[in-house]
Amino acid sequence: GAGVSQSPSNKVTEKGKDVELRCDPISGHTALYWYRQSLGQGLEFLIYFQGNSAPDKSGLPSDRFSAERTGGSVSTLTIQRTQQEDSAVYLCASSLWDDNEQFFGPGTRLTVL
């Protein structure tokens, strides 16, 4: 079946603009995760959804970052007033439930000029 999909695959934006990143998890997966990976670095946890609720938002770097999930499926990560340090690959993953194998999407490469 279809895996996790993310859009756009690449996004170039100007400093100060808002961007919205989308994640479509595998159908039936209740848990959804957002991570950020800077060049040559490990994965940085951002936020986790169980269904539509986010029990853990502690990883969001600042109040410019927000995320939502609707219908227990699609999730969007919004970054307001982007800064150059926001440039990274944003990865989404989903799993059947908590503490289970996570399937990763291909990521969105964000470049803030």
Please, which residue, 64 or 109, has the CB nearer to another protein? Answer: 109
Interface residue with another protein among 27, 42, 71, 84 (CB under 8 A) is 42
Q: Which is nearer to another protein, 91 or 110 (CB)?
A: 91
Closest CB to another protein among residues 25, 105: 105
Measured between alpha carbons, how far apart are the two ends of the chain, in Å?
A: 37
- Please report whether residue 98 would count as binding another protein according to CB under 8 A: yes
Q: What is the 3-state secondary structure (H, E, C) of 11-64?
A: EEECCCCCEEEEEECCCCCCEEEEEEECCCCCEEEEEEEECCEEEECCCCCCCC
Q: Which stretch binds another protein (CB under 8 A): 16-24, 47-55, 67-75, 77-85?
A: 47-55
